[in-house]
Amino acid sequence: MQQFEITSEFIANVKNFVDEGDNASISKLLGELHHADIAEILDELNFEQSIYIIRLLDSDITSEIIAELDEDVREKVLRSLSSKEIAEEIDELETDDAADIIAELPEAQKEEVIAQLEDVEKAKDIVDLLRYNEDTAGGLMRKELIAVRDSWTVLHCVKEMRKQAEAFEKVHTIYVVNDDGILKGRLSLKSLLTTSTKTPISEIFNPKITSVKVEEDDEEVAKIMQKYDLIVVPVIDEMGRLMGQITIDDVVDVIREEADKDYQLAAGITQDVEASDSIFELTKARLPWLFLGLIGGVGAFLIMEGFKDFFKNYAVLFFFTPLIAAMAGNVGVQSSAIIVQGLANNDVKGSINNRLIKEMLLATLNGIILALFLFAFVWGYEGDPSKAFAISVSLVAVIIVAGLVGTFIPLFLNKRGIDPAIATGPFITTSNDIFGILIYFWIAKMILGI
């Protein structure tokens, strides 16, 4: 099977069949598709059409579809299903997806749904999982895994594994625990297939295994899995007991969300919003940063007001304030972004001082190159080398200060345990606008001897 391309023609067909109630054709069209594809198709339909299809298809596939839907669509879908129907869907899911969905339900309904789950063992696991904060290893893990005891023989082990054959298609690691459930290591398929059946597991298992604690932060789990190239990692509790496992596909979502969040912060968007969110939600995410920009602009106004006596003879100075502000902002964003990204990727080494010295050299180099062009332009346009000199020298100073501020603030926030990503974007451009314009007028004043 190649991946499937959803065309608008295909969507139109599905819609038609739903409107006509042609169940046979719907089943034929969707029957062979991957649940991720069906979820994408449902995102394109209206709500009644989606519900119609969910009620029509088997719960082994609809459960996967529901787990895959956008959170806001899922909320609506779940609201239109009874607790019994939801429990049937959840019975088909793995524990991590099941717990995520139950966590989204209203408090009152949670208990109702859990009470109606058929598989009592799974219900216990789900209730366990609900205890963990969603941003921790416990919140990411699922309970399904294959564990064998170090006291067993290979033969016993294979028999146990055959019993649990249902779970097999997704086995990535066979964990070895002792009789108290404490994680001891892992068993490779190789040893299992190539050792005599009487060998005790304790003699052939591999004790080298990287695990994470159940309370570990999800971003830390992501870093560990990336660093050690792990497909799956076991989760243990404070006693070292094996509690569950996390597979890399769940961590990929964490990595993407983290990158998305940093990107949004850099663009001046707080809160996790998407292009499809409501205008009200988007305003809530965007307005605070714009307000910050407004305050910065008022600050710039007050500074320029303070220098208004220059106006008569040096109006040209005022015409360059947007340029100064833009350069201060751009340099600040560049230097802070490099630091923020370096911190995220563990790539920022050495002392803050070294980093600041490097940024100063860099800003000086860039500033002088840019100032030469500006000098030539102003001299040529205004015919006044002293004004051109004052403006250009100020530009270099502004760029250096902007670079230092952009480097220092994220490093400082990081030392203080604050997410440095908030320091990129509007925060840095606004403060650099004000600093930049102030420095610009001071230096120009000194040079021109006003």
Our CB check for a copy of itself shows the closer of 139 and 329 to be 329
Q: How far is the CB of 11 from a copy of itself (least distance, A)?
A: 11
- Residues 408-437 as x/- pattern, contact with a copy of itself by CB under 8 A: ----------------xxx--xx--x---x
Binding of a copy of itself by 345 (CB under 8 A) = yes
> In Å, what is the CA distance from 126 to each residue of 59, 78, 99, 225?
19, 18, 5, 24
Binding of a copy of itself by 62 (CB under 8 A) = no
Our CB check for a copy of itself shows the closer of 136 and 341 to be 341
**DSSP codes joined into one string, 44-104:** HS-HHHHHHHHHHS-HHHHHHHHHHS-HHHHHHHHHTS-HHHHHHHHHTS-HHHHHHHHHH
CB 281 within 8 A of CB 438: no
Q: How far is the CB of 179 from a copy of itself (least distance, A)?
A: 21
Rounded distance, CA 433 to CA 427, Å?
Answer: 10
Q: How far is the CB of 116 from a copy of itself (least distance, A)?
A: 27
User: Among 325, 331, 340, which Cα is nearest to 403's?
Assistant: 331
CB 164 within 8 A of CB 121: no
Residues 276-335 that bind a copy of itself (CB under 8 A): 276, 279, 282-283, 286-287, 289-291, 293-294, 296-298, 300-301, 304-305, 308, 311, 315, 318-327, 329-331, 333-334
Binding of a copy of itself by 374 (CB under 8 A) = yes
Measured from the Cβ of residue 292, the count of other Cβ atoms closer than 10 Å reads 17
Residues 183-202 that bind a copy of itself (CB under 8 A): 188-190, 193-194
Q: Is 247 helix (H, G, I), strand (E, B) or coil?
A: strand
- Burial 148-184, CB ≥16 within 10 A → b, else e: bbbebbbebbeeebeeeeeeeeeeebbbbbeeeeebb
Binding of a copy of itself by 47 (CB under 8 A) = no
Binding of a copy of itself by 264 (CB under 8 A) = yes
Q: Which two tokens stand for residue 372?
A: 């030469």
> Taking the chain, what is the end-to-end CA distance rounded to the nearest angstrom?
77
Interface with a copy of itself (CB under 8 A), residue from 51, 56, 61, 273: 273
The residue range among 48-56, 117-125, 126-134, 372-380 that interacts with a copy of itself, by the rule CB under 8 A, is 372-380
User: Among 390, 423, 396, which Cα is nearest to 407's?
Assistant: 423
Helix (H), strand (E), coil (C) string for 305-335? HHCHHHHHHHHHHHHCHHHHHHHHHHHHHHH
Q: How far is the CB of 425 from a copy of itself (least distance, A)?
A: 7
Our CB check for a copy of itself shows the closer of 115 and 259 to be 259
Residues 219-238 that bind a copy of itself (CB under 8 A): 224, 226-231
Binding of a copy of itself by 41 (CB under 8 A) = no
Q: How far is the CB of 77 from a copy of itself (least distance, A)?
A: 18
Our CB check for a copy of itself shows the closer of 106 and 208 to be 208
Binding of a copy of itself by 208 (CB under 8 A) = yes
Interface with a copy of itself (CB under 8 A), residue from 12, 115, 239, 252: 252
**Dihedrals phi, psi of 253, to nearest 5 degrees:** -65, -40
For 146, the enclosing helix (H) or strand (E) is strand 146-149
Residues 8-37 that bind a copy of itself (CB under 8 A): 34, 36
Binding of a copy of itself by 214 (CB under 8 A) = no
Binding of a copy of itself by 347 (CB under 8 A) = yes
Number of residues that bind a copy of itself (CB under 8 A): 118
Rounded distance, CA 26 to CA 333, Å?
Answer: 52
Our CB check for a copy of itself shows the closer of 301 and 412 to be 301
Q: How far is the CB of 292 from a copy of itself (least distance, A)?
A: 9
Our CB check for a copy of itself shows the closer of 109 and 330 to be 330
